[in-house]
Amino acid sequence: MVSPLFELRHVSLAFGGLKAVDRVDLALPAGGLHGLIGPNGAGKTTVFNLITGIYRPDEGDLRLAGRRLNGLSPHRIAHAGIARTFQNIRIFAQLTVLDNVRVGCHVRARHTMAQAILRTAGHIAGERLIQADARALLDTFGLADHAQELAGSLPHGQQRRLEIARALATHPTLLLLDEPAAGMNPTEKAALKALIRRIRDHYQLAILLIEHDMSLVMDLCEQITVLDYGQVIARGTPPEVQNNPKVIEAYLGEPIPGASANPRAEGATRGNTKNAGTAGTAETRPEDHPGPEGGQG
């Protein structure tokens, strides 16, 4: 196998006694579209938080293009080329839609703060560059008409798309999408599916996708990794995963001998505590609100 763009090797993280992520291995080729699925509380979001430096792994290695990322702070990981969206939307509500995307462009700014205060030619060129890139992204995402609106006033579906646009503005080589379809209606989901494909092909990046909507994952992803209780219980192509008895057991909570049902039918929820399609949007999860000690290592 060619050496992967991004790799998790034996990564673990425990919250007190709870092993949220347990010796997870994961490899993504450049340009790959990889799914990360599992029941609620399986540790998917925690994997994202580990990758983006919000948490440091207890053990294991994170590598992007051969470079070790362990212990880098979140903004350095963004500089290294990893961008993400959040399960609970985290747009900059009081900034305009355009400014949200322009913040994403900040990592690539070459002009200095002194130049910005003196308004030199370098500053003006830099800002025009940012403006052009941001506008182009808004066009791609169908948000150009809303450029000057406050991001917080957008409807839910557009906020999710804006989050993806903002992440792409950093020009990542790896994009992490945490339940991008959550809270979307079927039309929006279909549009999102096309959009994710287009992003991957057009920007030539690798995508790691967390999603509870199984039809979306199965249609989009080339490879899928299934987590349960922090451990990888299965990996492979969508059909392989779909027919894996361990996966079916994890999703249903009890073994079904010899069954090869499509997990999507079960709402992808252990214990049926909540609806899969809107999982995580209605509540505030602790993992998205790390305290001061968790936020900044």
Partner 1 sequence: MHPRDPRSSQFRPGLGGVVLHGAAPLLGIVALALVMDLLVAPLLPEAWYAKVLADIGINIVLAVSLNMVNGFTGQFSIGHAGFMAIGGYTAAAVVYYGSIALWGDAGFHGGYFSYCGLGHFNGPWFGGGDLLFVAACLIGGLVAAVVGVFVGLPSIRLRGDYLAIVTLGFGEIVRILIQQTPGVLPPESAATVPAPGRYLHLGGALGFTNHPFYTTIFWIWLAVGATVLVAWRLRNSTYGRAFLSIREDEIAAAAMGVPILLYKVMAFTFAAFFAGIAGGLFAHQLGSTLNPADLGFAKSFDILIMIVLGGLGSISGAILAAAGLTILPELLRNPPHVWPLLVPVVPIALALLLYRRRRLARGWGILAGGIVLLEIARDLAVAHGVQLSDYRMVFYALSLILVMILRPEGLLGTRELWELWPRKRKGGAGVRASS
The CA distance from 243 to 263, in Å, is: 9
Total residues binding ligand ATP (CB under 6 A)? 18
Given 4, 35, 41, 57, the residue binding ligand ATP (CB under 6 A)? 41
Number of residues that bind partner 1 (CB under 8 A): 69
Give dist(CA 247, CA 227) in Å, integer: 9
274 binds partner 1 (CB under 8 A): no
Closest CA to 176 of 9, 12, 35: 35
Q: Which stretch binds Mg ion (CB under 5 A): 42-50, 90-98, 166-174, 201-209?
A: 42-50
Alpha-carbon distance of 4 to 30, in angstroms, equals: 7
Give the full edge-to-edge strand order of the sheet including 18-28. Answer: 18-28, 6-15, 59-64, 67-68
Restricted to residues 86-125, the positions that interact with Mg ion (CB under 5 A) are 87
94 binds, among partner 1, Mg ion, ligand ATP, none (CB under 5 to 8 A by kind): partner 1
Minimum gap (Å) between residue 258 Cβ and ligand ATP: 28
The answer to whether residue 74 forms part of the interface with ligand ATP (CB under 6 A) is: no
Partner touching 20 among partner 1, ligand ATP, Mg ion, none, CB below 5 to 8 Å by kind:
ligand ATP
**42 in Cβ contact with 29 (< 8 Å):** no
Q: Which one of the spans 32-40, 221-229, 233-241, 285-293 is the region binding partner 1 (CB under 8 A)?
A: 285-293
Task: Name every residue whose Cβ is closer than 8 Å to that of residue 39 and which is 6 or more positions away in sequence.
Answer: 228, 250, 251, 268, 269, 270
What are 210's two structure tokens?
A: 């967390």
Query: Where along the sequence are the contacts to ligand ATP (CB under 6 A)?
Result: 15, 18, 20, 38, 40-46, 87, 279-280, 285-287, 290
